[in-house]
Structure 1
């Protein structure tokens, strides 16, 4: 192969890789729709001999005692689910009030089970809840990882053990060889046994440089019992709803566990259709399909819908202040209230789905006769059609509720109220009306949570949401085809308007839904990209500098560079500085100014990034901003630690500072002198400083950085005091000081020195700066961040921390991680964590790449140093 062809092949591979990375979400969404389409075809064929009336008869024949037992087992399952979180917290060595943990876990599972896809997943809810309870992002990630992994492993183990015990019975049910079933089950049990053996006494396993800390035998055994109890209880909730059958409970447990696992792996929202297909395929030889469908519908309502309704009711009652007298109940209510946007978002999505499905389901004959006697046909037809569109509107609005938009709150309220009225006009649907009334009450009492003044129309849906809408529309189509299987479909059906003609009514509703969903999809996919902000004007920089002077964070003086866009709060008392690189809108550190405006600024940037087709990222934020980022649906990943020196206790005496003391004394002997040049006098020495800076850049073969660092721009340097070190009346080193009027914190930005300075000059400079600032009355000195610091020795750490620790230990070839930490450690600072907040793990990696490019001035700047 020639060099040219090899280069061309490499270029093509790179283009394919970039194309996949750019459109991976769309590919995943298309995959979900394709999987659900295949499942729909399978369900339609499996139910070829079943009629809608048979399913209704099976539902009516289910005894109330079976329903009560299903509710009981559902409660047991959710108790076990709460212990997932309690065990995870104990495993990582953190203790939180158990009522708060129980409420958070219950809401997470209620929402996650019902909705089942990313934007409203249980992991996001845990991050919001536990961050408010003071848990660090790394600990929350470990809790989520523990819960996810333990559920998956428990599911595999329960499925394998039950299959091993009843392989012969299962083989008769599913039509497979008992030997193959036993072999597969034995393989799973053997692998799990090896893992348990290796994890005895909490062993640590090293795999290619990565350290994996396994839970000890006690933790593993206890969690397996919890998982087994959870799966057994949830399986029992469905088993008691089945009609009399010769299928034993262990046989059913194996089929159920397999169905749950395949449903999770399919990534279809809530496993809709996938779970049902596996259950019907496994049990259709033993139970009539019509009775099985009735049991599955009841199971969905009891295990998925009922817990969400309970969570919403608890939230509603707590908003009405009826739980304040009981401390435990009040604590549970506070968690539910705190998560009210996520709860109401999931409820709106559920109600939207219900309205969509009801538009293709026929009205009971008695209700239809009552409507025919009371209302003219056009009103019933219009109510049926408009109700389906309102369902689509609630489905779309649910995303805005999750984002706490006031426009979404109003649209949801109006849509639900209209749907409530139409529920009586179209079918006298009392149950539907009751759920809508509960939703309206919950909206009214939680209105204070939806205060973000953002346009709902501008909220374009991403591929995940579009895939969810497509799944619901396809499901509605399958329901319609199933109900009216014996109907002869002709063009005349579209124009039949009679009370008794239900199929045409359902077809027209489905057509309207499809058109509405297509409009939403086209708007979301083809929306024009919002214009990107221009560099800040001098007036904006001046406004920002005035805010900087009145607050404590010295690093905020970086706004003087003018290389970052500025986003002001509505009150004008706070701002956020950010830059744009690729698709990343990257905020630098926490907002600056009034703390009560921080939440608003986080949401403003998130919405601006989404409107511009990008992702919001918050770089080097403090723990103070984590809860705000969690409320905006962002996850935090640790970047490193910030070194802060307490100037009130800084002294060169004692053995701890002997190295610094020796460097300072050596500087004095070498004839070094220190002075502070006031801002007004900096123009007089700017040429000398420029010469030193140019020599420093040339000596280090590097170029100026931007964004999180200042560059040598004359206007920027002359806007601040400068600390200088002179020798023989010639300046040989300098550092620009960043100060605020509150004198709480100070720091330095540009640090440059001549190539021929004596050894230890920078130590002399820093010690002199700290002594001067202490004498002036400043309280702390910010030494800056040590990237990836504090991530190397954490047991059972998330993947992000383990990779960061690995890079810290072995990445000296690319960046002086350890050297930077060692230099700052000489001053014995207090280390404070700093984070990157972004939507997900993949987004964090991409955002970090964009941050690197932004600081280095693009690809050319990074490659060319």
Structure 2
């Protein structure tokens, strides 16, 4: 509404039976659909005594001055909404230019208020936008949490203020003093919260505590919420007939309706919001006038901002094409916002086509058509327009995710729908809106670059729930519009220009049948996947060439032999991945040119979804999080990677005294460092094996895989191996990670024997750092410090569990000790993330990754 967002098994041949996935998502969806059905039922009973024609008359009787005031109030409300993000950014200590924040906030709320589910919520759009601006996912989560919490408090404050001023606003004839007392109590609670914020206190939230923002921020946010809800409530109030309810009292009613709409989880509170308002105003105004005002409110406060958001991103895209100013932050924001905004607009107009199929056309226009259009053409246009509306609804998902197949489908469907709108009822408004959508799609063509067919996309439970809500709403509208017409079976076969109820029945039946067939096909279609097999020699050679042509040495883990490879269509990049349980786990970001990454990431995500699996990207860099957000994944921090800046590394100075002293002691003790090239490694392979076996026996571990190197002779022969000899015997070694570029080097496998003197591994690390510094490399990668850098104050199960494991899990893994060892070399720490669907998926995915690295449950138990 306003500031608030609203059994599987995979067979060996790759066929999918994603029952468990659908059951879990389906139960939530059924609850939402049940709430929506109950709301529509209640709304129908409240409007039982009025007709559709009376609502239309009341709608047309709305004075122009009221519409003008409503539009102005809408502008004030959305201006206040931009302050939500501004205060939230200040709360997390980040700065983004206000014009860019305003653009993002406006588009996010225009989409979230109107559609309000899944990837089209305001929170999802914030995540897509803010991560490219350097914000970490935890900060975006805090922004969303701050906005949601303060919006809830603001709704409570507005309701309390309305009760204090007006007393009874419930319509239940309660004593006025009771309302005044409840309002005063609510305001006192909020005042107490403000006092606590002034004392820098924190509030308990379950097992955790949340730091309160500064009083100034809290006051600004409260003021913004007050202005937002007051302005949004004013939009509806000025459209309503005289009800005897003053503006303060009505805003309290509006705040309650908004809050219940958000809590219902029905997209945009559709039906729920209307039921609350209609019930609260029962007996105070004519029902048909209230319904007309509610419909006009939806258009002014929801549809108009979305249309403006579409025009805005279209203009920004035009400016980008015309002036080539892609470096402008506003233009970049417009490019990122275009797909979700146009996806929401497509969704809205698809619903318009379906709803227009179950509502009567203007009699004058029908009479005009009867004079020159054959009846079969009108009947076909009416039926096909509704069916195309459902197809356009499906295409909206692909547009949100930048699929070129969805773009082509929409560009082909919309002109046909424009012609059908003319043929079925001279529907000029439909034609105008569809023309606008077509223009915006053509302008933003460059944003839809993912080469995926519309027929092969996987409709997830939230989208199927939205489709179910569309059908329930269309059915409720049909029953309301034609409730005075007695149902007889002959209605289905009646074909006349004036027989609009039969046309509505046939259109709804066609849409329902198509939706049912489509949903069944999505659930039961076989997976279009080739059986997985280890990469052959040709694939390994292709992968090695790509690895050598890019700067990240960790990509050579693709050659370990335990992962499958998914190559880009042009062969320029690949994803290395393995499967465990339902998790399809890609190691790190894609390897290769970054322009090939977006379609490759999308292919991998859809490939996993097609068989009921979860796509997981493990150890990805923060700069690329927006790519995973665009694919519907959420990032969770895994830890931090240590990278030594070789240009500034020195052993001189007081900070390096301990390192320098240890280095000198190792030199004096007779340790010898050597870098053995790949061709020389076979000669020392048995000595390396002896050191490796002794190290594993001493630590009671077995070889790890996937994200860690293993002692595999063929793998060790790919790169040089650094060795430390003592008295002529190899006592320690480290295999290296390198590429054909002299930008970054790293260590892979590190082992040492009991004969190695103290500080041998530290000495080996220093020798490698100094060697690659002299060779002109820019960075030396020391690898990950798992669970490092997780905020102790962040709210969220992932953060809190990860922090607790880091602090108290030494008996299983020396998390703090590993970071302390790497910190000796003064590295820069860069966060690494796991991108995965939300809910319980992160925990389940991490369990699958642990099994994969450890070689199954027994490997994990044995370390």
Structure 1 residue 264: deviation in Å? 0.4
What whole-Å deviation, never above 9, does each CA across 1:560-590 have from its counterpart, x for those lacking one?
A: 2021121222332222212222222222122
Residues 750-759 or 443-452, more deviating: 750-759
1:518 to 513, 516, 520: 516
Q: CA deviation at 1:634?
A: 2.9
* TM-score, normalising length: structure 1: 0.93
Equivalent position of 1:6 in the other structure = none
Distance verdict in 2 for CA 1:67–1:208, change over 3 Å: closer
Counterpart residue number, 2:838: 840
- The equivalent of 1:316 in structure 2 is 314
- Counterpart-to-counterpart distance in 1, 2:415 and 2:532: 39
Equivalent positions of 1:105-124 (< 5 A) are 105-124=105-124
Answer yes or no: is the 8 Å Cα contact 1:131–1:137 preserved in 2: yes
Partner of 2:580: 581
| 1:175, distance to aligned residue in structure 2 (A) | 5.1
Q: Which residue is 1:165 aligned to?
A: 165
Aligned-residue offset at 1:21: 8.2
Please report how far the alpha carbon of residue 801 of structure 1 lies from its aligned counterpart in structure 2 after TM superposition: 4.0
Farther-moved stretch of structure 1 (222-231 vs 197-206): 197-206
Q: 1:98-119: CA deviations, max 9, x gaps? A: 1111111100000001101012
Q: Counterpart in 2 of 1:47? A: 47
Alignment of 1:725-740 (within 5 A): 725-740=724-739
Counterparts of residues 129-148 of structure 1 (less than 5 Å): 129-148=129-148
1:557 match:
556
CA distance in 1, matches of 2:100, 2:322: 15
* Cα deviation code 1:176-228 (max 9, x no counterpart): 56576566656644543443332224334577874521112111111111101
* Structure 1 residue 844, shift from structure 2 partner: 2.9
C-alpha deviation, 1:702, in angstroms: 1.5
Name 1:34's counterpart in structure 2: 34
Give the alignment of 1:152-191 within 5 angstroms: 152-168=152-168, 170-171=169-170, 173-174=171-172, 185=183, 188-191=186-189
Aligned residue for 1:814, secondary structure, equals coil
Moved more, 150-159 or 71-80: 150-159
Note if 1:539 corresponds to 2:509: no
Distance 1:778 1:336 in 2: 38
Task: From the superposition, tell whether residues 562 and 380 of structure 1 become closer, same or farther in structure 2 (CA, over 3 Å).
Answer: same
Deviation at 1:737, TM superposition (A): 1.3
Write the distance in 2 (CA, Å) between the matches of 1:716 and 1:266: 56
C-alpha deviation, 1:722, in angstroms: 1.4
Quote the Cα distance in structure 1 between the aligned partners of 2:322 and 2:84: 28
SS at match of 1:374: coil
Partners of 2:320 and 2:150 in 1: how far apart? 37
Report what 2:6 is aligned to: none
Alpha-carbon distance in structure 1 between the residues aligned to 2:555 and 2:347:
42
Distance 2:239 2:80 in 1: 21
> Which segment is superposed worse, 810-819 or 343-352?
810-819
Q: CA deviation at 1:474?
A: 0.8
Q: Deviations over 1:126-166 (max 9, x none)?
A: 12222333333333222222222211211122112312432
Give the SS at the match of 1:286.
coil
Relative distance call for 1:465 and 1:204 in structure 2 (3 A) is same
Give the direction of change, closer, same or farther, for the CA distance of 1:852–1:189 in structure 2 (3 Å limit): farther
Cα 1:748/1:117, change in 2 over 3 Å: same
* 2: CA distance, partners of 1:140 / 1:691: 49
CA contact (8 A) 1:311 1:336 kept: no
Q: Quick check: 2:132–2:624 contact (8 Å CA) kept in 1?
A: no
Shift of 1:626: 2.2
The equivalent position to 2:340 in structure 1, one of 339, 342, 351, is 342
Measure, in 1, the Cα distance between the counterparts of 2:702 and 2:765. 23
Could you say if the C-alpha distance between residues 177 and 585 of structure 1 is closer, same or farther in structure 2, counting changes exceeding 3 Å? farther
Encode CA deviations 1:275-302: one digit per residue, 9 max, x unaligned. Answer: 0011111111212211110000000000
SS at match of 2:748: strand
1:476-625 correspondence runs (5 A): 476-531=474-529, 533-625=532-624
Tell me: CA distance 1:323–1:166, structure 2 relative to 1, closer, same or farther (3 Å).
Answer: farther
Query: Are residues 207 and 123 of structure 1, via their aligned partners in 2, closer, same or farther at CA, if it must alter by over 3 Å?
Result: closer
Which one is further off, 262-271 or 599-608?
599-608
Deviations 1:399-422 (A, max 9, x none): 011111111111111111111000
Summarize the Cα distance change of 1:327–1:303 in structure 2 as closer, same or farther, 3 Å threshold: farther
**Residue number in structure 2 paired with 1:441:** 439
Q: Distance in 1 between matches of 2:809 and 2:224?
A: 41
Corresponding residue to 1:805 among 803, 806, 810: 803
d(CA) in 2 for partners of 1:860, 1:391 = 53
Question: Could you list the per-position Cα deviations for residues 294-323 of structure 1 after superposition, in whole angstroms to 9, with x for gaps in the alignment?
Answer: 000000000000000011112233333399
Between the aligned partners of 1:702 and 1:21, the Cα distance in structure 2 is 35
Corresponding residue of 2:678: 679
Using a 3 Å threshold, how does the CA distance of structure 1 residues 807 and 196 change in structure 2: closer, same or farther? farther
Task: Name the CA distance, whole Å, in 1 between partners of 2:846 and 2:179.
Answer: 46
User: Residue 127 of structure 1 corresponds to which residue in structure 2?
Assistant: 127
- Whether contact under 8 Å (1:747, 1:783) holds in the other structure is yes
Q: Within 2, Cα distance between the matches of 1:824 and 1:209?
A: 33
Moved more, 512-521 or 600-609: 600-609
Whole-angstrom distance in 2 between the partners of 1:646 and 1:245: 70
How far off its partner does 1:750 sit?
1.0
Count of paired positions: 845
Instruction: Out of 799-808 and 344-353, give the one that drifted further.
Output: 799-808
Counterparts of 1:330 and 1:369 in 2: how far apart (Å)? 53
CA distance in structure 2 between the aligned counterparts of 1:191 and 1:815, rounded to whole angstroms: 46
Shift of 1:439: 0.7
Secondary structure of the structure 1 residue equivalent to 2:107: helix
Q: Aligned pair in 2 of structure 1 residues 20, 811: CA closer, same or farther (>3 Å)? A: farther
Q: Which moved more, 1:198-207 or 1:576-585?
A: 198-207
Deviation track 1:629-659 (CA, whole Å, cap 9, x = no partner) reads 2333333232222111123333333322222
The C-alpha deviation readout for 1:743-799, integer Å capped at 9, x for no partner, is 221111111122343322211222222233334443321001112222245x66766
Structure 1 distance, partners of 2:327, 2:749, is 54
Aligned equivalent of 1:259? 257
CA–CA distance in structure 2, aligned partners of residues 216 and 527 of structure 1: 54
Q: Classify 1:338/1:769 alpha carbon distance in 2 versus 1 (closer, same or farther; 3 Å).
A: closer
* Residues in 2 aligned to 1:481 and 1:559: alpha-carbon distance in whole angstroms: 60
Per-residue deviation, 1:331: 5.7
TM-score (norm 2): 0.93
Given that 2:785 and 2:819 are in contact with CA atoms closer than 8 Å, whether structure 1 keeps it comes out as yes
* 1:331–1:186 distance in 2 versus 1, CA, 3 Å: same
- 1:344, 1:401 within 8 Å by CA — same for their partners in 2? yes
Unpaired runs of 5+ residues, structure 1, are 1-17
Equivalent in the alignment of 2:305: 307
Q: 1:733 to 1:796 in 2, by over 3 A?
A: closer
74 and 210 in structure 1: CA distance in 2 versus 1, 3 angstrom threshold? same
1:786 aligns with 2:785: yes
Which whole-Å deviations, capped at 9, do the CAs of 1:699-727 have from their partners, x for residues lacking one? 21221111110111221122222112222
1:452 to 2:459 alignment: no
> Match of 2:95, SS?
coil
2:633 matched residue in structure 1: 634
The alpha-carbon distance between structure 1 residues 177 and 566, as it changes in their structure 2 partners (threshold 3 A), is farther
Contact residue 620 and residue 836 of structure 1 kept, 8 A: yes
